[in-house]
Amino acid sequence: MAFPDVRPRRLRRTPALRRLVAETDLAPRQLVLPIFVREGAGEPVAISSMPGVVQHTRETLKKTAAEAVAAGLGGVMLFGIPEHKDALGSGAVDPAGILNLAITDVVAEVGDQLTVMSDLCLDEFTDHGHCGVLDSDGRVDNDRTLEAYDAMALAQAAAGVDLVSPSGMMDGQVASIRHALDAEEHTGVGILAYSAKYASAFYGPFREAVDSSLSGDRRTYQQDPGNRIEGVREAKIDVAEGADIVMVKPALGYLDVLSAVRQAVDVPVAAYNVSGEYAMVEAAAERGWIDREPAILETLTSIRRAGADIVLTYWALEAAALLQR
């Protein structure tokens, strides 16, 4: 049989050749570590559905931030878990609230060696678990919620954050927050917008991680999993409103959306490798069904290949060590 003289395998023959022609790279600087910090915790609290991930104390938070610097990570994303919640999520705007204290702690520990990001959403702070303020009918009131987001952004900016990260999927949230920050001369604080955030089944372990009080779902403000065009539209709206970075969440089930967003906007694009995606790999590896470390790197590389400039992942520290090794 005559074969065409085309042999792509030549460039796969050695590790050096494969490295030379690699189309997609994965580096620690592209990774962001989400970190949970629990108010009043005396020691880290394990999260059963996310093996290896904990709710940190303020002291272990600072230690982890220092480890992130040493590992060369791009940043950390902070989530606060308060001791007390109320209908308005007032702990989110309290300068002495756990998330704002966590921001101050990390900035004091690492300075500008690490990009400090913070989740800007009310769900961890409300007793009903929704991402906004409820109206008399129990529905999320978009415009009243924007007022709360503005106040939350100002509190986080005062604490020293580099990027606020509105994740509630309220209409107009980026424009409102940008206006509020600029009006108070926080023009240097950037916005990483959760632009295409889907109503996903893969958030389950996260709700344990933040002690969520949610009953029901968030389908009236998070996106329908079947909609790709809508995700791109949301990202373009956020860029027009002043977002410095846009995000797709989750990552693995939405790689097509991620790719389309990357092609549609001219700002950096992030993707969140969410808790359920993490938990699936960990559970399969625990049972010996997959080879854990290669699966971690393959997962993160797939997200980069689809177009993410930045990847939020609970494996960030471990992946950085694997890449260095």
Is 249 designated active site? yes
197 is catalytic: yes
Residue in 62, 63, 85, 249 annotated catalytic: 249
| Burial (Cβ within 10 Å: 0-12, 13-18, ≥19) of residue 69 | middle
Kindly name the residue from 62, 85, 197, 236 that is annotated as catalytic: 197
Residues that are catalytic: 197, 249
